[in-house]
Every structure is written in C-alpha cells, then in structure tokens.
A and B are shown apart, each in its own frame.
Chain A
C-alpha cells in the first residue's frame, strides 16, 4: 500500500528539563489572563466560553422560572394568578429566551470552549470575535429579559406573526424583539464563522477529515446551518421592523402585502433552528458514549452521514409549521415527505450509539445516565414528530398542547439532557474538580420523572382540544386533571434543575482535584493537566488516530514534554497552527491577538444602534452605529493583518512555516467568505419576497404602477461592475507592487462605487415611488437600499486598503486587506446584478 503514514515522529529524546521549564514559563506568560478588572478584557476561548455558557445557563434558569409561572397559572381552570397580558408576555419571553438566549448560545459557547481543545489548537482563529459575540449576547439578552420587569416585553409569541405584531401591538415590545434578536443573531453568525474556520483550518497536523472528533463534525454542520437559517429571519425581521416604523406594507394585505410571507421567512429559520440546537447537543453524546464503553464509535461514517444529511433535509421542513394555512395539498405532501425523510438520519445516529454500547463494555457513570435518559425522551419526541409530519394528523394536532409536548420531548431529550450530560462530563476540564455523582443522580431522577409527568399528559391535553398559548381554560372540558398533573410535574422538574445548578455553583475548594483525564477518554480535549493551564496544549501533537490518547503510544508524555509542534513561545506571542481543510497539513503559524476591551466597545456601540432603534430614536441610533464602525476599524487597524517581524518560523520537528498568508490561504479570507454567504442568503430572502408577491398577485408589478425604470438601475449596475473591476485591478497592481497604479485603481473604485450607490437609489427616487402606498415600491426600494449599502460598505473596504497602503501596513507581499476587499466586491457585484435584473429586468419580461 502506498498510503502508509509518513508523518513526522515526536522528538525521540526528552528535551532537557531546564528547556522544558523555560518553554513552559514563556507559554504561561504569553497566555496569561489579565488581572483585576482587566480580567474582563480576556479573549481566551476558555474564559469567554465559560462566561458565555454561564450566561446562557442563567437565561435558561430565567426561562425556566417563566415556565413555572405559566404552570401555576394553568394549574387550575379560570385561574387569575397572571393577567392575560402578563401571561402573553411570559410565554413569548419564555420561548424566545429558551431559543435565542439559551439553546443557540449554549451550543456555540460549549463549542467555543471545547472545539479548540478537541482539535489540539491553542485557541480559535479569531479570539476577539468570540469575545465580541459574547458581549453582544450579554447586552442584547439583558435588554430583552429586562423588558419583562417593565411590562414592556414582546407579546406576539416567539414566532411574532403579523399582522398581530405589525399593526395590533403598539409599544416597544415587538420592536425590542425584532431589533434585539437581530442583534443577537448577528452575534450567533459571528460565532458560526469562528467555528467553521476553526474546524476546517485549525486542526492538529495529521488529523485528516476522516479522523476529526464527531463533535466537530456536528458543530461544523450546525454552524453551516446557522449561515443559511438565520439570514431569512434577519431579512424578515428587517421587513417587519420597517413596516412597524415606517409603514411599508410588507405584511399588510391592504397595501398588497401578505402575512404568510412572514411565516415562510420565519420557519425557513425556525425549523433548521431545531436541528441547529439538536445536532451539537447530540454531539456531546457522541463523545460521551465511546468514552464510557471504552471503544471507538461504531459507524463513524454513518454518524457523519446523519449529521450532514440532517443538516440538509432540515431545510425542507419549514412548511410543516404552515400545514393549516390553506396551501395546496401537493405542497403539504412535499413537506410531509421531507419531514418523514429527516427521521431516517436521526434513527441512524441513535442506532450508532446503541451499536457502540453493544460492541463495548459499559462503565456506569452520571454522564451516561443523562445520555440514556435523554435518548429515551428524545426517541418519543422523534416518534411524535413522525406523527405530526403527516399533514392530516397535524390538522388536529397543530397549535395544541400535543405540539407543546412534542417539541419539549425533542428539545429537552435532544438538547437539555445531553447538555447536562456534558456538564458532568466536561466539568473537570473547566475547574479541575468533578461534580458530585450523588447530586447528579438525584437530579437525574427529579428531572426525568418531573419531565415526563409534565409533558406526557400534554399529548392528551392537546388531543382533547386544548390550544396552545391560552392564559386560561374553562372547567369541565377534560383539561383540569391533566393540567394539574403537568403543573406538579413542572415543579419536580424545576427542583431537578435546582439540584444541578447547586452542584455547579457549590463551593468546591475543599474537594480534591480530579485525576487527569478522569474518565479515561481517548480524544484530545482530555490532554490538560488538572487544573488546566491557559495555553490549551503544551505542544501541538501530530495526530494519527481518532482516539489518540488511547491509540498513540506515549502520547500524553510527548505532548507534555513539548516533543511536538510549537512547544515554545519564543517571541512571547500567542500562536497556533493553521492546517489544510482535508488532510490537515500545516501551512501557517498563526499569531493570535491577546486581551482587549475593543470587542466590548464594539459590541456596546453596535448594540446601541439596535437598542436605541427600539425606541425609534433613529439619529442617536445612527450615531451609535457610526461610532461602532469606527471602533471596528480601530480593532482591525491595530490587531489584524499584522506584518510579522520575519517571514517564517521554525515550529518544531524540522518544520518551518510562514507567519503570514493572504488570499484563500488565510483564515481571514475564509471568515469574509463565510460571513458573506450569510449576507447573500439574507439578500436572496429579499428577492424571494419580491417573487412571492408576484405569485400572490394576479398583477405584479401592478399595471400602471411606477417602477424604477430601466435607465438608472442599469447605470448603477454598470458603475458597480466597474467598481468591482477597479478593485480587481487594485489587487493585481498591489501584488505587482505598482503603488501608483494601485492608488489610482482603488480611488477609482471608491468613486465608482459611490456613484453606483447613488444611481441605484436614483431609480426609485426619480420615478417617485412611494413605499408606503403599496408593497411593490416598498420591496423595490428595499432591494435598492440593500444594494447601495453594500456598495457603501465596499467603499469602506477599499478606503481601508488605501489607508493601509499609505500607512505602510500593506504592501505587495502583505496584502490580506485587498484580497478580502476583492472577495467582498465579488458579492457586491453579484448583489448588484441580481438587483438590477429583478427591479429593472423583471417588469420588462412580464
């Protein structure tokens, strides 16, 4: 066979002890945490990840308390514990908090902590971006949850269906939901970018794509799903907020809009969302099971199939939330089909776990207890999911307590139990101490019994006719006992959560440190000594197995003694390795930024835009945004694309790697690409809206309605295409070190882009299209504004490149900035062409 490994071996001889100590001291210094109040400027994935997780758990507790309030209210018929209005706020905030402030952030935060550790990396590729995401999340979360205490919370349901939320709910609740969650969704996309680049580009040498831990596969899939699932909701939220604030009738039938469009955009996000929550949680089980049965997972390839397959098919389910909106039967049938098909990969992954358990010898443990309990619950949720996927059954079950039961079985079994399993499993890696087995078991039985007592009866409550989202119900319809049982169960469930919470926060100073790798696991995250050091791994290993701690001889010793890559921080800088996506061949030694408050200020100022916007204080909001952009520019200017003091560096084992890469070899380029895929998806959602209006109207654009004309959109398209071409030339001439030509091309691109943006707006402006009159001018205006804003952002990119070259921070060799700008401009050009084709071309074709 030709494919025998010929990877470098670790150093044969132990490095001298003095050298090891010196290396450790330098690494420790480079990765040290800031002290005192400056601690909050830390960007290490372990710190940010723990804040992130802890905050998400606090929101979980908050959402849980809201659930208990609801259960008190519903314990008996005709209860007056909560008023209708309060109840409606409470259930809206419960759903929104659990989804946006717990489930999504907790997946990302757990991944932020453990992904680098599983990949033997010292940190994620963009530590400050993680910190930025965290501060956005904290700020937005507090703002949204706090509104409840002022009776100003959103009360349109977590699904926010207009017209209820557009025209029938004055007050800032709905605005808060739309702007606040958009802000948090942007943070979620930032984390997704980080996780994708981390999984694909920051693996240890030798960890080929067939060897990466299953958790990372799941995270990769879930993060990719975020990119395509969140933008439709962001686009929808933008339409709804514009309707609320400026009366553009996107969802108002009187102006030609349609409330059903919101449902499409919302569920295009909402259904994949369920799997975005489920996949990274079940991923924890995929790590826990092999550890406790002492053997590799059976069916690694099948699990990958399941993760990727679920990721795709989950985008074909959204209409099953709309089975009762009167769509044609054939549409219902197509979405029924996909909803059933998605059960197959889910079945496969559950049987992979069963097969692994059957093939190994199980060691009893608390994490396994939660894993098995979670599966028992999840399987029932999956099976009721198969039931409601049939449109005919859903006609009865939809919007009843049957669905409440179903979704809680899926999310609690598929996410909450696995996450608690993860708490008990991973906790030693955070604090060096184990959680209590005894408390863990007590909590488990409280949770398991409480959960089933609460939610099992709800299947029948629903089928006996109780709709969801009711603040009360009359006596004698057969709901009374069932509801009382559910309420009692809820408190049992709550007490279980309290026990887990106590176990997490109870002081553990007198408890001895856990043994290193206490569960005898096989994957890299278990390398750290107890308590863990801040540097992640002592040296970045050469991996040739799925379970290196089990299968590679002397592995821990070699890592500890620095016999692998990057055992030192000679320059006192934070460093990690960048490798290729498929075969994990090292290609760069990446310098990582250290502690900084800049991410905090960026989050604060950009958050200011959204928060001030909630109150419709548009000028202060805009000012905050401008300051925010300034902060981001400062951040980029001072901390990114730094020119290294030398072109390459010896990283150990005879390997020398470049310290600087640009274009598609750099991680930054990938981050821009991935972000722009998400932005482009939002744009596609807006284009979808245009054609959606076409399908619902016999006559769209309406006969005789003023359009943007052909001239100005085409002029805009041509100008923006020219700006794109000028940017390409600028990149080429910069590479060729023709400074003069570069300045000319870059300056020209700025001028052309500004002219293009103006021309784009001139179309609807000069023809006097009034966006408040009808949905046709409204959507045309929105597409034009979207495109113009892209062009203006492109101006910022190119202006930044000009400034960098002028300041001597960019040159022919060090040209990350212009490569990223060029990449951005590809998307601007595509956006402009599509916009022109739609707003100018489509009316002609009609």
Chain B
C-alpha cells in the first residue's frame, strides 16, 4: 500500500492556519465587498447613483474567493482521504490528526463557499445606492 511508504507526518508540516484559510477568505471577501459598496456610495455617487462598477468588482472578488476556497477545500479533502482510514479520525496517530484537520478544513471550505455565495447573490438584486 502506498501509505505504508508514505513519509511520516511531522508536526511542522501541520498547522491550525490551514484550517482557517477558507473562513478568512470569506471574511476578506465580505469586508472588501462591504467597504467597496460603502465607500462607492458614500464618496462617489449620490444616493440614487448606480452601483454598476461595484457589482462587477464584487463579482470579481467572488471568483477569486471561490477559487481560493476551492483550492483550500480540495487540499483538505485530499488530506481527509489520506491513507485508508475512515471517519471519525479519532486515533492517537499523526495520520488521523492529519486526516481530521483535512476533514475540518474541507467542511469549513464548504461553509465558507456557501457564505461567499450568499453575499455575492446580493449584487443580483441591487442596482443603485438606495
């Protein structure tokens, strides 16, 4: 089996930071979308002004964010499927720790993707700064 030859899974290759990549991407996407819209409406157009450039920008942020989340989620899924072990990843082994962090990363990526999509849906319905 390939895994028997797999290298050891030392701690230094693992960190909690990878777990929170996707929600962090959501947070950045969310804040950027909000700030872009708020600054545009406050500084550049009147109350009835168009939102068109903001909608395109948010669409762009969304593509980038979903891409990053997909990458992080795929990475998590791969780790979750590492070796031949199944859930609940509760053994006191580097392998299960690796798989558990992968699984949690994967789930967080799914949630973050939904949250980013929710935010992005907003632009479909709003065309001006009111």
In the complex, A touching B (Cβ < 8 A): yes
- Using a CB–CB cutoff of 8 Å, the interface residues on chain A facing chain B are 1-5, 7, 206-211, 296, 298-302, 304-305, 308-309, 311-313, 315-316, 319, 327-331, 333-338, 340-341, 344-345, 543-546, 580-583, 585, 695-696, 698
- With A300-B88, A338-B30 as contacts: A583 and B130 at CB distance below 8 Å: no
A305 B119 Cβ-Cβ under 8 A: no
A328 B37 Cβ-Cβ under 8 A: yes
Give the residue of B24, B42, B92, B93 whose beta carbon is less than 8 angstroms from that of A543: B92
For residue A341, which residue of chain B has the nearest CB?
B115
B11 A580 Cβ-Cβ under 8 A: yes
Give the residue of B6, B41, B43 whose beta carbon is less than 8 angstroms from that of A330: B41
Give the residue of A1, A301, A543 whose beta carbon is less than 8 angstroms from that of B89: A301
- With A1-B3, A333-B122, A580-B11 as contacts: A209 and B16 at CB distance below 8 Å: yes
List the 6 shortest-distance A-B pairs measured between CB atoms, nearest first: A3-B95, A544-B92, A210-B100, A333-B122, A312-B23, A3-B93
Measured CB to CB, the closest approach of chain A to B93, in angstroms, equals 4
Interface residue count for B (Cβ, 8 Å)?
Answer: 61
What B residues does A3 contact at CB under 8 A? 9, 83, 91, 93-96, 98
- Complex CA gap A309/B116 in Å reads 13
Tell me if B33 counts as interface (CB < 8 A to partner A): yes
Give the residue of A298, A309, A328 whose beta carbon is less than 8 angstroms from that of B38: A328
- Complex CA gap A301/B107 in Å reads 8
Give the residue of B34, B43, B51, B97 whose beta carbon is less than 8 angstroms from that of A210: B97
- Which chain B residues (53-102) contact chain A, with CB distance < 8 Å? 54, 83-85, 87-101
- With A316-B30, A544-B91 as contacts: A695 and B42 at CB distance below 8 Å: yes
- Using a CB–CB cutoff of 8 Å, the interface residues on chain B facing chain A are 3-4, 6, 8-9, 11, 14-16, 19-20, 23-24, 26-27, 30, 33-34, 37-39, 41-43, 51, 54, 83-85, 87-101, 103-104, 107-108, 111-112, 114-115, 118-119, 121-123, 125-126, 129-130
Measured CB to CB, the closest approach of chain A to B99, in angstroms, equals 8
A345 B6 Cβ-Cβ under 8 A: no
B90 A583 Cβ-Cβ under 8 A: no
What A residues does B15 contact at CB under 8 A? 582
What A residues does B42 contact at CB under 8 A? 695-696
Given contact pairs A1-B4, A7-B92, a sample of 17 additional A-B residue pairs in the complex whose CB atoms are under 8 Å apart: A1-B83, A3-B83, A3-B98, A5-B93, A209-B16, A210-B101, A298-B88, A304-B104, A308-B23, A309-B108, A312-B24, A328-B38, A330-B54, A336-B122, A544-B92, A582-B14, A696-B42
Measured CB to CB, the closest approach of chain B to A473, in angstroms, equals 34
What B residues does A319 contact at CB under 8 A? 34
- With A3-B83, A301-B100, A338-B119 as contacts: A312 and B20 at CB distance below 8 Å: yes
Measured CB to CB, the closest approach of chain B to A386, in angstroms, equals 13
For residue A301, which residue of chain B has the nearest CB?
B103
Measured CB to CB, the closest approach of chain B to A749, in angstroms, equals 31
Measured CB to CB, the closest approach of chain A to B54, in angstroms, equals 7
- With A301-B104, A330-B122 as contacts: A582 and B3 at CB distance below 8 Å: no
Q: Total A-B residue pairs with C-beta atoms closer than 8 Å? A: 166
Measured CB to CB, the closest approach of chain A to B13, in angstroms, equals 10
Measured CB to CB, the closest approach of chain A to B92, in angstroms, equals 3
- Complex CA gap A71/B51 in Å reads 47
Measured CB to CB, the closest approach of chain B to A202, in angstroms, equals 16
Measured CB to CB, the closest approach of chain B to A72, in angstroms, equals 43
Measured CB to CB, the closest approach of chain A to B70, in angstroms, equals 17
- Complex CA gap A302/B108 in Å reads 9
A5 B6 Cβ-Cβ under 8 A: no
What B residues does A299 contact at CB under 8 A? 88
Q: List 27 A-B contacts (CB under 8 A).
A: A3-B91, A4-B93, A5-B93, A210-B101, A211-B90, A296-B90, A298-B88, A300-B89, A301-B87, A302-B107, A304-B104, A305-B104, A312-B23, A312-B24, A327-B38, A328-B38, A330-B41, A334-B34, A334-B119, A338-B30, A341-B111, A545-B90, A582-B14, A582-B15, A583-B11, A695-B43, A696-B42
A344 B89 Cβ-Cβ under 8 A: no
A301 B8 Cβ-Cβ under 8 A: no
- With A305-B107, A695-B42 as contacts: A582 and B23 at CB distance below 8 Å: no
Measured CB to CB, the closest approach of chain B to A225, in angstroms, equals 12
What B residues does A210 contact at CB under 8 A? 89-90, 96-97, 99-101
- Complex CA gap A2/B95 in Å reads 8
For residue B95, which residue of chain A has the nearest CB?
A3
- Complex CA gap A226/B107 in Å reads 24
- Complex CA gap A334/B38 in Å reads 11
Secondary structure call for the B interface: helix
Measured CB to CB, the closest approach of chain A to B117, in angstroms, equals 9
- Complex CA gap A582/B104 in Å reads 14
B130 A329 Cβ-Cβ under 8 A: yes
- Complex CA gap A696/B41 in Å reads 10
- Complex CA gap A585/B97 in Å reads 13
- Complex CA gap A327/B16 in Å reads 37
For residue B98, which residue of chain A has the nearest CB?
A3
Measured CB to CB, the closest approach of chain B to A829, in angstroms, equals 23
- Complex CA gap A340/B130 in Å reads 22
A546 B90 Cβ-Cβ under 8 A: yes
Most buried by B among A3, A319, A543: A3
What A residues does B38 contact at CB under 8 A? 327-328, 331, 695
For residue B109, which residue of chain A has the nearest CB?
A305
For residue A546, which residue of chain B has the nearest CB?
B90
What B residues does A302 contact at CB under 8 A? 107
A2 B8 Cβ-Cβ under 8 A: yes
Measured CB to CB, the closest approach of chain B to A352, in angstroms, equals 11
- Complex CA gap A583/B9 in Å reads 11
Measured CB to CB, the closest approach of chain A to B41, in angstroms, equals 5
B3 A2 Cβ-Cβ under 8 A: yes
What A residues does B9 contact at CB under 8 A? 3
Measured CB to CB, the closest approach of chain B to A690, in angstroms, equals 14
What A residues does B91 contact at CB under 8 A? 3, 5, 544
Measured CB to CB, the closest approach of chain A to B2, in angstroms, equals 11
- Complex CA gap A501/B19 in Å reads 42
What B residues does A316 contact at CB under 8 A? 26-27, 30, 115
- Complex CA gap A319/B111 in Å reads 21
Most buried by B among A7, A300, A696: A300
What A residues does B121 contact at CB under 8 A? 337
- With A330-B129, A334-B34 as contacts: A341 and B8 at CB distance below 8 Å: no
- Complex CA gap A144/B37 in Å reads 41
B114 A208 Cβ-Cβ under 8 A: no
A695 B129 Cβ-Cβ under 8 A: no
